[in-house]
Amino acid sequence: MSTALLTDHYELTMLQAALRSGAAHRRAVFEVFARHLPGGRRYGVVAGTGRVLDELERFRFGDEEIAFLREHRVVDDDTLAFLSEYRFSGDIYGYREGEAYFPASPILIVEGTFAEAVLLETLILSIMNHDCAIASAASRMTNAAGKRPIIEMGSRRTHEQAAVATARAAYIAGFASTSNLMAGHLYGIPTAGTAAHAFTLLHDSERAAFEAQIASFGAETTLLVDTYDVAEAVRTAVELAGPRLGAVRIDSGDLAAAAQEVREQLDSLGAFDTRIVVTSDLDEYAIAALAAAPVDGYGVGTSVATGSGVPTAALVYKLVARETATGKLEAVAKRSVGKPSRGGRKEAYRLIDRSGHADTELITTSGLIPEDAIPLIRPLMIDGEVVGREPLPAARARHAEAVSLLPLEALHLGRGYAAIPTEFA
Amino acid sequence: MSTALLTDHYELTMLQAALRSGAAHRRAVFEVFARHLPGGRRYGVVAGTGRVLDELERFRFGDEEIAFLREHRVVDDDTLAFLSEYRFSGDIYGYREGEAYFPASPILIVEGTFAEAVLLETLILSIMNHDCAIASAASRMTNAAGKRPIIEMGSRRTHEQAAVATARAAYIAGFASTSNLMAGHLYGIPTAGTAAHAFTLLHDSERAAFEAQIASFGAETTLLVDTYDVAEAVRTAVELAGPRLGAVRIDSGDLAAAAQEVREQLDSLGAFDTRIVVTSDLDEYAIAALAAAPVDGYGVGTSVATGSGVPTAALVYKLVARETATGKLEAVAKRSVGKPSRGGRKEAYRLIDRSGHADTELITTSGLIPEDAIPLIRPLMIDGEVVGREPLPAARARHAEAVSLLPLEALHLGRGYAAIPTEFA
């Protein structure tokens, strides 16, 4: 299915006017960056780049799309002729998925003619504003959880397709699995889940429900124990499944206190290896508060799917350079009040201090390559062909490494400034 | 494309265990409701129902979906056999789109066997949690804007498919148009937009950019005037387009002050009919604060696409009744701490007081129909066939009427309690 109409009306009217003025064919450089990290976050996490590459391959104006644009007189016939032949033939560079970013980091750079690059603004920003917001929130949660695994289970709290992208972004940021089957199908992310309260309520008793679940999935399953009385449910669960019961899930109440009681009860029943999974409106703060509780895993829904208070990453797509009438590439930037932009095609490096930690995000237009620096910008698409596709586990590993290189302050959950300063050279 | 995998893993494992226990074939009633209105909102707005009906028609486990589930051993062969034949054959009732709702309002009721109804939980909640959150926020914005039109332009701030649903939900709640072309194509929503700062920066001067836009779209176009200096831009705009210039757009700075200055300047230049459109991180509070400013229209992006602080509607899908072993339909409800639920299949009515305003949301399991009450629940799907589809303008008109019936307190933007109480009979 074509992605071409996932685009703002004005991208096409700009194209029409620029085709008329002749400026449409000027070479242009657009950059995706965040002026600030919303929510007082210490770092952002790049995600969505792989989806951008996938969706650009389907960014074509076919008969159906052209017919709509013609019928609604969105643009004129010359512009429709251009669109029907449209195929992005330029270059895209950017930070790779899983990498950390900071204010002004040029996480995606699109180079082509103005005509071909301006059309991609909406789709690229939609994908990256969503996926970076999710990954940035998810990264805080995996930091807070330490070695304990987190299941992403927020599908029901967000748009049905955003749910699939949520699972993908959370997986990059270190989540262990997802409840979302489409994410398993499309991206190979492990899927997980056993039962909801409805399953217990369906049966004539909690005992009958547990029996049914164990009969079908074995003693290794996870039983949900808070439909009626938790202590009674745990007693029944171990009675039916024996000490090999895989896990119990608690989905309400004071989770720290409940986990403590359930752990003691499980141990007293000899179910020493039965794990405790907790869910119920968890976010990074709640996870951190459970660090000392006897919890073996978390399920996180609403907060990860909504970016934990920051549902969009405040990324913008700005023209930073374009060809002049004389054929020279010239830096440009608007001067709108309160919306700082810097012209010129950037390179970006992360400078590492003697302790091995990142200490500066260096953004440069000089062309000079600093020493002891990690180059952050890699080719993703050259002459319209994808060159930067990579498997999801690579992005996940990069995230883990990128976070490990940040100064410890980056892991503080409170509001503050970026963990390292951005400098311009 | 099948929507069947837009589903949580545990819906399928519950199905497997219930098929094994035999309980899967019990009749069941699930209800979608909100325990509270998040964000201290006074009312919610129903949206997404039409999308639910569309997507349920594509909720089929085809060869591709079955192959994925088999390969990953999500469920056993008996369950796969059930799924490959699956087609929802039950009934769905609910509030119609555009209607207001309150805590506990049963905005969607799904009746069928447990097996066929439980599978729909994730998809239904994804759609309705998203769309209701957007419509509920958008409604506050259209209330604040009064007769001034609002363009929805948040596509770039949310997932690319959520963007399309955002335009639809905002339109139901009274937005005039959208920037999103796919929403125009799929739903017939008017689309709008002219140019971004990049268009001005592309040209060698602002004058050249304005000339190009006017040459292509005529004097009736909307010119963006804040790329460099607003007063200079307005002067150039009227010089080039004449007093018939359609509109100017201001996208930065103190919008009230800027609009006042631009209005005076336009009038001094004889451009009395040139409209002023303002954009730049507007939400319902900013719109309300601009009520006295000489503004003719608003463009709203981030805040509408993210639900203005409430990106998900806190709707749940709960089993409220199911068949017993003896074939009787019995009310059920979990007793989990802090998560109140009421068993039994509900009816809902809005009671109207003598002044003609709504004063109570009445939820009843009695079967009695109160006097002077608006029945809220209508059939949407009967025996698996859609019976409740309606054109989008009908939902939009219903929203306007539903809001007009609410007590005035419902329009307060501050945090508070629901505008009318929910009573149970």
Decide if pLDDT at A336 tops 80: no
Decide if pLDDT at B336 tops 90: no
Q: What is the pLDDT of residue A244?
A: 97
Per DSSP, the three-state class of A316 is: strand
Residues B152/B179, Cβ–Cβ less than 8 Å: yes
Residue A120: closest CA among A6, A40, A197, A230 = A6
Interface contact B114, partner A, CB < 8 A: yes
CATH number listed for the domain at residues B144-309: 3.20.20.70
A275: which residues sit within 8 A by CB, 6+ positions away?
A: A222, A246, A247, A248, A296, A297
pLDDT digits (tens, 9 = 90+) for A190-239: 999 999 999 999 999 999 999 999 999 999 999 999 999 999 999 999 99
A–B: how many Cβ contacts below 8 A?
Answer: 342
Interface contact A194, partner B, CB < 8 A: yes
Please provide the average confidence, as pLDDT, over all residues in chain A: 97
- On chain B, the residues whose CB falls within 8 A of the CB of A201 are 319, 322, 332-334
For chain B, the three-class secondary structure string (H helix, E strand, C coil) is CCCCCCCEHHHHHHHHHHHHHCHHHCEEEEEEEECCCHHHCCCEECCCHHHHHHHHCCCCCCHHHHHHHHHCCCCCHHHHHHHHCCCCCCEEEECCCCCEECCCCCCEEEEEEHHHHHCCHHHHHHHHHHHHHHHHHHHHHHHHHCCCCEEECCHHHCCHHHHHHHHHHHHHCCCCEECEHHHHHHHCCCECCCCCHHHHHHCCCHHHHHHHHHHHHCCCCEEECCCCCHHHHHHHHHHHHCCCCCEEEECCCCHHHHHHHHHHHHHHCCCCCCEEEECCCCCHHHHHHCCCCCCCEEEECHHHHCHHHCCCCCEEEEEEEEECCCCCEEECCCCCCCCCCCCCCCEEEEEECCCCCEEEEEEECCCCCCCCEEECCEEEEECCEECCCCCHHHHHHHHHHHHHHCCHHHHCCCCCCCCCCEEEC
CA atoms within 13 A on the CB side of B334: 25
* Percentage of the residues of chain B whose pLDDT score is greater than 70: 100
- On chain A, the residues whose CB falls within 8 A of the CB of B257 are none
- On chain B, the residues whose CB falls within 8 A of the CB of A8 are 153, 155-156, 179-181, 193
Residue A173: closest CA among A131, A233, A205, A204 = A131
Residues B152/B304, Cβ–Cβ less than 8 Å: yes
Nearest to A192 among B9, B217, B227 (CB): B9
Decide if pLDDT at B337 tops 80: no
Nearest to A14 among B195, B227, B337 (CB): B195
- Confidence band, pLDDT 50/70/90 cuts, at residue A99: very high
Query: In this complex, do B193 and A13 lie within 8 Å of one another by their Cβ atoms?
Result: yes
Query: In this complex, do A8 and B193 lie within 8 Å of one another by their Cβ atoms?
Result: yes
**CA–CA min distance B352, chain A (Å):** 33
Which B-chain residues 204-263 have CB contacts (< 8 A) with chain A? 204, 208-209, 211-213, 215-217, 226-229, 251-253
- Which architecture, in CATH terms, is A149-305? Alpha-Beta Barrel (3.20)
Nearest CA in chain B to A64: B185
Query: In this complex, do A9 and B193 lie within 8 Å of one another by their Cβ atoms?
Result: yes
pLDDT digits (tens, 9 = 90+) for B98-139: 999 999 999 999 999 999 999 999 999 999 999 999 999 999
- Pair type for strands B275-278 and B297-300: parallel
pLDDT digits (tens, 9 = 90+) for B4-36: 999 999 999 999 999 999 999 999 999 999 999
pLDDT digits (tens, 9 = 90+) for B38-55: 999 999 999 999 999 999
Please report which helix (H) or strand (E) contains residue A276, including its range: strand A275-278
* Percentage of the residues of chain B whose pLDDT score is greater than 90: 96
Decide if pLDDT at A162 tops 80: yes
**How many C-beta atoms surround the C-beta of residue B245 within 10 A?**
26
Interface contact A121, partner B, CB < 8 A: yes
Interface probe for A, chosen from B55, B77, B86, B216 (most Cβ of A below 10 Å), is B216
Q: Per the structure block, which two tokens stand in for B293?
A: 């400013």
* Percentage of the residues of chain A whose pLDDT score is greater than 90: 95
Torsion of CA B228, B231, B234, B240, to 10 degrees: -80
Which A-chain residues 324-353 have CB contacts (< 8 A) with chain B? 324-325, 332-339
Query: In this complex, do B338 and A200 lie within 8 Å of one another by their Cβ atoms?
Result: no
- On chain A, the residues whose CB falls within 8 A of the CB of B199 are 14, 17-18, 118
- On chain B, the residues whose CB falls within 8 A of the CB of A162 are 130, 158-159, 161-162
Cα distance between residue A403 and residue B224, in whole Å: 41
Distance of CA A118 to the CA centre of its chain: 24
- On chain A, the residues whose CB falls within 8 A of the CB of B336 are 197, 226-227, 251-253
User: What is the average per-residue pLDDT within A265-277?
Assistant: 98
Interface contact A200, partner B, CB < 8 A: yes
Decide if pLDDT at B286 tops 90: yes
- On chain A, the residues whose CB falls within 8 A of the CB of B185 are 5, 64-65, 68
Per-domain boundaries in chain B: 9-134+310-424, 144-309
**How many C-beta atoms surround the C-beta of residue B360 within 10 A?**
17
Cα distance between residue A209 and residue B322, in whole Å: 14
Q: Compute the residue count for chain B.
A: 425
A264: left (phi over 0), alpha (psi -120 to 50) or beta: alpha
- On chain B, the residues whose CB falls within 8 A of the CB of A324 are 204
Decide if pLDDT at B211 tops 90: yes
Nearest CA in chain A to B214: A17
- Which architecture, in CATH terms, is A9-134+310-424? Alpha-Beta Barrel (3.20)
- Confidence band, pLDDT 50/70/90 cuts, at residue B162: very high
Residues A16/B193, Cβ–Cβ less than 8 Å: no
What is the ipTM metric for this complex? Answer: 0.97
CA atoms within 13 A on the CB side of A302: 18
Cα distance between residue A37 and residue A417, in whole Å: 8
Burial of B160 (0-12, 13-18, 19+ CB in 10 A): buried
Per DSSP, the three-state class of A28 is: strand
User: What is the average per-residue pLDDT within B252-267?
Assistant: 97
Query: In this complex, do A311 and B158 lie within 8 Å of one another by their Cβ atoms?
Result: yes
Decide if pLDDT at A335 tops 90: no
Q: What is the pLDDT of residue B335?
A: 80
Cα distance between residue A200 and residue B14, in whole Å: 10
Give alpha helix (H) positions in A192-242. Answer: 197-202, 206-217, 230-241
pTM for the complete prediction?
Answer: 0.98
**CA–CA min distance B118, chain A (Å):** 8
